[in-house]
Structure 1
Amino acid sequence: MKAFTRLAAVLAGAIAFAGPAAAQDPIKIAVVQGMSGSSLEAFSRQSLTGFEMGIEYATGGTNEIDGRPIEIIVKDTQFKPDVARAVLAEAYGDDEVLLAVGATSSGVTLGMLPIAEEYERLLIVEPAVADGLTGPDSNRYVFKTSRNSSMDMQAQALALQPDENLYVATLAEDYAFGHDGIEAFKAALDGSGATVVTEEYVPQGTADFTAAAERMFNALKDKDGRKVILIYIAGGGDAPGKIQAMDPGRHGIEISMGGHILAVLPTYKRFPGMEGAIYYYYEAYDNPVNNWLVEEHMKRFDSPPDFFTAGGMSAALAVVKALETADSYDTEDLIAAMEGMSWDTPKGEMTFRPEDHQALQSMVHFKIRVDDDVDWAIPELVRIIEPGEMDIPIGRTND
């Protein structure tokens, strides 16, 4: 019955595209994000705002392509894998969307990949990070505009300037995002002489980091050289602050971490001079796309665009370019147009790698500066880390 329903939907879509009224039919795009049920909702809402602004920018304010309006249908995953699969299937089937974009949680998004393959429709992954989203369990219908854990950690490793005198203990959450990130960090250190002395993984939502911190202190304190605790946690709990309160400095241990959204950056004021890597900061990039985004976001929301706003916009710009350049809106033609496609984003040029559909992109090496007149700690630009400086593993080979 399901196969019949899908076939009917495909035939109906083909008839609609072929008819003379097709020029006015909306281009339906699903944004499948966690809009409730988690502290990570902020990431999803930023991504949606960025996607909407990206469609506006890419279409010159018309929100149309070839006279056809773009209709964005928002689906809430509630940060539950089963709900995510159901609403994505609903979007492809009942709503007859051309493609979908999402989601925020890497674990939730992993469960969505087979649905894209089942319905033979595109899924643009944004802003989930885990390497596995373009790995062996992915498929040819999945493209990923968000950065991945390897980019996070190769950039972070470059910012730490590793050598044989560097000793690192890592702390991450016990799910795909955390494990992929630490594996990528260790791979990035290969050949540098640096040593990872211990790895700690804690459940999502952990609020007490005392035991993990003590184990990391013990693993590092007797080492001769630079001693660093690398924190790679996306959620709440304030691991950096709580570990800092335990005075790692008494052992000569420093804390390092990647950048974060603006709402979290005030907590970075406790770490002046800390260097790390960040996906995006609105002052780090000077290009027409980012300049428009910053100016318009300030006008509309009285605040600068954030981490995932830029990501959502990048996904929208990729979608519009694909729709404008593909021979047709048939999925196979869209895949052909997107493999190897480059496009401009707030972060500069991105390119979908043909082999696994991961978007190769730049990262920002920052140094924390504290300004009493700014509410948050400023991840001041040290330099842009270009895509060619990072050796990002290929996750899967298309068949």
Structure 2
Amino acid sequence: MKHRRPTASPLAKPLFPAALFAAVSFATIASTLAGIGLTAAPAAAQSAKASATFSGAPVRVGEINSYTGLPAFTIPYRQGWQLALEEINAEGGVIGCCELQVVSRDDAGKPDDAVRVAQELVANEAVDVLAGTYFSHIGLAVADFAARNKMPFVAAEPLTDAITWSKGNRYTFRLRPSTYMQAAMLVEEAAKLPAKRWATVAPNYEYGQSAVAWFKQLLKEKRPDVEFVAEQWPAQGKLEAGPTVQALAAAKPDAIFNVTFGADLAKLVREGEGRGLFRNRKVVSLLTGEPEYLEPMKDEAPEGWIVTGYPWDQIDTPAHKAFVAAYTARFKESPKAGSIVGYITMKAVAAAITKARSANAEPIVDALAGLTIDSPVGPVTFRASDHQATMGAYVGTTTVKDGRGTMKDWRYADGANYLPPDDVVRKMRPAE
């Protein structure tokens, strides 16, 4: 075939009330897209893509992420996909004949920038697939662009459930376990606690809103006796630790559900420990076990929090040990959660192109639906019904060992066990 490149630049399966999704605002995304007036890729680029077939020419991936906005996660993520890319091309590329190339762009943590660079990648760089993004609102913006321009998009990190459910589309697939999935994993442990009075703290955008909503719903289903007595909604990256901790303590909760991460998490931990907020209180916390957030706190890392995370140095399966060895040899540092996400993302993109035997959008999308790949964490399948991958997460408790934060007593929660059945998600997705 000839490839002509364009020359133009489970947990119990609960019911899923529509009201929960309706409560989440997507006005920011809609406003951003409408404001910059992007509706379709140039006709010449679209036409060229439609006729593209293989002749050994490189296949190109347009990669977008918040490298300046959240480097703690995205730099390891970039190193992960770079390692995968090198392995893919060393093994003959995609379909054994074509080099896989990546054109990467920084979205600066802004949806409008993400859509602008997506447009550039399609129109000027002639990419065949889009991949990446970190923040949920940015992932949603790129997913909308992908749907309108009929471009395959593998969303690596954004955790919003909307990207595969209420705002799902034919062209968008997501790798990481969603807010619903990780909330469900944590609820299994939270329901065992004697705590009845709960407080929550989460960043005030789609990811935080969705995580809190699901945690509350799922915990109440398992424990009707619980009540939520306080909520704190700091702006992402702008948490005022003193007032936040004071407000949480004033509510006198028995336990706290935390969704903050990065610098906000570190400030919350430091201020909370100083004021005794966590004394004799259990904390259940999304993402806190990931080394990019836990390790920088060193011996100030919290003890005994129930978390999702990535205990990279304790996973002894052959596939994972091989990944760690290759990553540390290549980059002279230990992997982070972002590293494994970037690595699996690029492997999934390559597997889909090889399965499709085409650089055209429609065959790649068809190949992604139901695709199963082997990964360092085990087999991962992109479900055909909602395009959500079955990648799981590690659930355990935090501790300090040898002067650094880590996880203990962990288990791998297979994502396939924390997803609603196909008939439920089909009702939540828009008609296509």
| TM-score after normalising by structure 1 | 0.87
Residue correspondence of structure 1 range 107-122 to structure 2 within 5 A? 107-122=137-152
The residue number in structure 2 matching 1:23 is: 55
Partners of 1:181 and 1:74 lie apart in 2 by: 29
The residue number in structure 2 matching 1:7 is: 43
- Out of 85, 102, 123, the position equivalent to 2:132 is 102
Gaps of 5+ in 2: 1-37
Using CA pairs below 8 Å that are at least 6 residues apart, which structure has the higher relative contact order? 2
Any idea what the Cα deviations from partners look like across 1:174-221, whole Å, max 9, x if unmatched? 011110111121132132214333222111222423333233223235
Whose strand proportion is higher, 1 or 2?
A: 1
The residue number in structure 2 matching 1:224 is: none
Cα shift at 1:369 = 3.2
| Compared CA separation, residues 16 and 283, structure 1 to 2 (3 A) | same
The residue number in structure 2 matching 1:78 is: 108
| Compared CA separation, residues 4 and 320, structure 1 to 2 (3 A) | closer
The residue number in structure 1 matching 2:429 is: 396
Residue correspondence of structure 1 range 18-57 to structure 2 within 5 A? 22-36=54-68, 38=69, 40-57=70-87
The residue number in structure 1 matching 2:174 is: 144
Residue correspondence of structure 1 range 177-326 to structure 2 within 5 A? 177-193=207-223, 194-220=226-252, 227-237=254-264, 238-248=267-277, 252-258=280-286, 259-266=288-295, 267=297, 269-270=299-300, 273-326=303-356
SS at match of 1:24: coil
Task: Indicate the RMSD between aligned Cα atoms, in angstroms.
Answer: 2.6
Partners of 1:281 and 1:163 lie apart in 2 by: 23
The percent identity for this pair of structures is: 21
SS at match of 1:202: coil
Partners of 2:249 and 2:385 lie apart in 1 by: 41
The residue number in structure 1 matching 2:96 is: 66
Give the counterpart letter for 1:43 in structure 2.
Answer: F
Kindly indicate whether the alpha-carbon contact (under 8 Å) linking 2:261 and 2:293 is maintained by their aligned counterparts in 1: no
Kindly indicate whether the alpha-carbon contact (under 8 Å) linking 2:146 and 2:172 is maintained by their aligned counterparts in 1: yes
Partners of 1:203 and 1:146 lie apart in 2 by: 23
Stretch deviating more after TM superposition (376-385 or 255-264):
255-264
Give the counterpart letter for 1:358 in structure 2.
Answer: Q
Partners of 1:106 and 1:4 lie apart in 2 by: 22
Partners of 2:358 and 2:95 lie apart in 1 by: 12
Partners of 1:45 and 1:59 lie apart in 2 by: 21
**Does 2:161 align with 1:131?**
yes
SS at match of 2:401: coil
Kindly indicate whether the alpha-carbon contact (under 8 Å) linking 1:51 and 1:313 is maintained by their aligned counterparts in 2: yes
**Does 2:384 align with 1:354?**
yes
Kindly indicate whether the alpha-carbon contact (under 8 Å) linking 2:40 and 2:148 is maintained by their aligned counterparts in 1: no
| Compared CA separation, residues 209 and 96, structure 1 to 2 (3 A) | same
Any idea what the Cα deviations from partners look like across 1:260-283, whole Å, max 9, x if unmatched? 443432327445651423243313
Partners of 1:5 and 1:189 lie apart in 2 by: 44
SS at match of 1:73: strand
Equivalenced residue count is: 384
Kindly indicate whether the alpha-carbon contact (under 8 Å) linking 1:220 and 1:253 is maintained by their aligned counterparts in 2: no
SS at match of 1:299: helix
Partners of 1:279 and 1:332 lie apart in 2 by: 35
**Does 2:411 align with 1:379?**
no
Stretch deviating more after TM superposition (351-360 or 258-267):
258-267
Any idea what the Cα deviations from partners look like across 1:88-138, whole Å, max 9, x if unmatched? 011112211110112011122222222111211111101121222223223
Stretch deviating more after TM superposition (307-316 or 296-305):
296-305
Kindly indicate whether the alpha-carbon contact (under 8 Å) linking 1:164 and 1:192 is maintained by their aligned counterparts in 2: no
Kindly indicate whether the alpha-carbon contact (under 8 Å) linking 1:156 and 1:276 is maintained by their aligned counterparts in 2: yes
Any idea what the Cα deviations from partners look like across 1:12-69, whole Å, max 9, x if unmatched? 345552xxxx433110101111222x2x123222222111222334455444543111
Partners of 2:383 and 2:40 lie apart in 1 by: 35
Partners of 1:33 and 1:191 lie apart in 2 by: 36
Kindly indicate whether the alpha-carbon contact (under 8 Å) linking 1:154 and 1:185 is maintained by their aligned counterparts in 2: yes
Kindly indicate whether the alpha-carbon contact (under 8 Å) linking 1:26 and 1:71 is maintained by their aligned counterparts in 2: yes
The residue number in structure 1 matching 2:204 is: 174
Stretch deviating more after TM superposition (70-79 or 254-263):
254-263
Any idea what the Cα deviations from partners look like across 1:294-333, whole Å, max 9, x if unmatched? 0011112222210111011111121111112125333222
